[in-house]
Structure 1
Amino acid sequence: MADKAGDLFGSPTASAVDDFHDVDERSFFAEQTTRDSNIAKAASARATMQPEAHYLGHRERLRNRFREGGETALADYEVLELLLFRLIPRRDTKPIAKALLARFQTLGGVLGAPPALLQEVKGVGETVALDLKLIASVAQRMLKSELREKQVLSSWSAVIDYCHAAMAYETTEQFRILFLDKRNVLIADEIQGRGTVDHTPVYPREVVKRALELSATAIILVHNHPSGDPTPSRADIDMTRTIVETAKPLGITVHDHIIIGKDGHASLKGLRLI
């Protein structure tokens, strides 16, 4: 009876002690496993965060330099980095910015490049390529807005800037016409033809017909040379003179024919070729 009472109210039996030890050991190893798992997760998180912390600090320094000194405080690749920060939020964008400039030479070249070529640069996917093209379109529209409600001939540098932004980096030829009213204010800006790397078909009668439809009294012809050299060809000169001769009897003046290249432009009027 004493033994039984002891089992009930006194010291625990051997079986009870063994059960207690089993529970205690299971709890210990479970806690140890949990601690090890938490340590591993923390180490993994630190390993993941370290590179991010590095480029986040770099980004903040660049932002501060831009905030304090404007765009003149930054190199071209750094300006492109700032742009890419928002397009590629979780990567170091410096190598991508440098690779883009190495491939396309200038910021204008990067923004003017076709999306397919942009995606050939490591780190640039379809979304980033389209975002860069959107930014280029915003820049073009901003420049075009400078021509609205203004006499184009008195804003000639704005005309050149706009045409250069719109056409200099195209990989095929485009033929564009700026239609003006009697005050030489821009009525319309239209691409009349797209061609190959060195030729665009132009039909003088269609050019004049469109000018009459828009009630334009003057036009400026513009096309690009994808080779980069804006020097007019013999075909450029002959085509321009044909348009001048076709338009003149109908009271439409051809103010100029501008040829756009990556490194500059040529004016047929300035060269006294028309």
Structure 2
Amino acid sequence: MPLSLLPGNRPSFDSTGPAGHRGRMREKLLSRGPEALADYEILEMLLFLAIARRDTKPLAKQLINTFGSLAGVLSASPAALAVTGGLGPDAIAVLQLPEEAARRLAGPERRTTPILNNWDRLLEYLDQALVGAVPGQLRALLLDNRNRLLADETVQGEPEHVPHVLAGRALTLHATALILIRVVPAGIPDRVLLKREAVLAGAVRTAVSLLSVIVHDHMLVGMGNWISLTQKGLL
């Protein structure tokens, strides 16, 4: 009888198919930790969950080449993954999990923090934040370097003290920008109000510039209308 047919003498070879490759990937993950995985290997293992019997390594590399990086793949829209990436609904659903997990990991306070990086978002925020605001009130929106709202505070004190108060708050909160909001009081002519508020905004800008903090705008809000000192060239 040929040796190759004797019981117990069959040679053992590692599988070269998808199942064997997946086993080696799992072993690498368990023995060396996720930090040992290349970007395409992380993506490859995520795709294991959606694609049962196919080598996902070429697909993972193709997706990273298409979207530029692992982060680009994981933050791509479902439509982009379907059209550009050529993925089916199961794989698309799996690739949305890491971004959602990261969002939840950031904590509820981060998830609900407004990002005031354009006019529409700012005005939408003010529509809610200024409900019931007292006429004449001065508010300061302190922002981080991505224009996320760190604090919305009422500013108290005489006008000459406001710049120093805001500089102190910006320093405490590590703010990099701020927006001033004045709830317009009744009975003051626009010309007088604009001149007074432009002086205040200029003083604040001078004080906080020493901390490399930018004043994006000073807005006058009231009676359903708003005026931007930046747009009027007064700041």
Normalising by structure 1, we get a TM-score of: 0.43
Which has more radius of gyration?
A: 1
Normalising by structure 2, we get a TM-score of: 0.49
